[in-house]
Structure 1
Amino acid sequence: MVIHLNFWPTLAFAVVLLSWFAFVILFLARKKPPTAPESKRDRASIIGIVLQGFSYGIVWSVRRQWFTPIFSVSNAVEILLAILTMVLAITAVWFCSAAIRALGKQWSLAARLVEGHKLVKEGPYSVVRNPIYTGMFGMLLATGLAVSHWIGLLIAAVVFAIGTAIRVRSEEKLLREAFGREFEEYAQKVPAVIPFLI
């Protein structure tokens, strides 16, 4: 099989790949703050984690021909799609990084509360209530735009949305129990995952 390198899709793929390295390092090699004793956990969020992970598997495995745009488009649109892909990937990593820093010792893979848990509302949490999922969704879209067949990206987005809905419900149940009216007021002002929308 002969692979033809189209400049803009190839550049977008390279940026997405580098962003994935940064994304993985962000989660695996971050400096861990002192742990706090756990006070409450909701294991239902693990189902959401599995679905989100599965959605990433879909975008990487349901591929189109390498280094081509997701749709057959004009050169100008191809360049715009490539730029959108790169901006999404870089912004996604930055958003996740800022959110994890804002959470500090409260960050966890699965839904939980720690002793002395604080309701974080600053930084990216002033834009959306779940900025890590916003960043993860950005990485999913960027990856799909860089490598997936459009059907694969669509299926992956649906699976990711279901997984995210499960995790948001699980985590926000704990936050509602812990912070009551303070959380309700925050939730009324700030969307869950997509800025200015939901």
Structure 2
Amino acid sequence: MGHRLSKIYTRTGDDGTTGLGDGSRIEKDHHRMESIGTVDELNSAIGLLLAELPSDDAYAALLAQIQHDLFDLGGELAVPGYTMISASRISELESKLDCLNEDLPPLKNFILPGGSKPAALCHMARAICRRAERCLVALSKTDEVNTTGRQYLNRLSDFLFVMARLLARRNGGQEVLWQQADKR
């Protein structure tokens, strides 16, 4: 593969537009760009979570694969009409989610983000994932969007929630349970 970027700044975006992979240009505040940026932010949040985990951590390979999926989703969004995320990615995520969830007790209360730094970072990634999904929903009202990408984000937010629960419970840690105001 040849060089992707030979010059980092081009000045072509100084007018408030940006180029897509198909050569077209759109406003930087277009729903498509908001979606691409939020997926990128999610990928960065997962990268931050990965940096907190040992490289041999059981979750590291899962999170690295998710980063690749998110990069593919960003590419898909950058080239209108192009599809990179397939239903098999959702099925694989669901399978992993089912396995992770088996070791957790049933939820009897709401959980607050926290418990440990990795758990809090995972909750932050989950919240960004929900926003990315909302961005794709907004984009789909005006532009053609692969619904599989949106479904992937929906499943990913569930996956990140379960992973955050597991990370909070590691090494004898606990999840932070919400307490109603009148019971504090």
Question: What TM-score do you get using the length of structure 2 for normalisation?
Answer: 0.39
Structure with the higher fraction of residues in helix conformation: 1
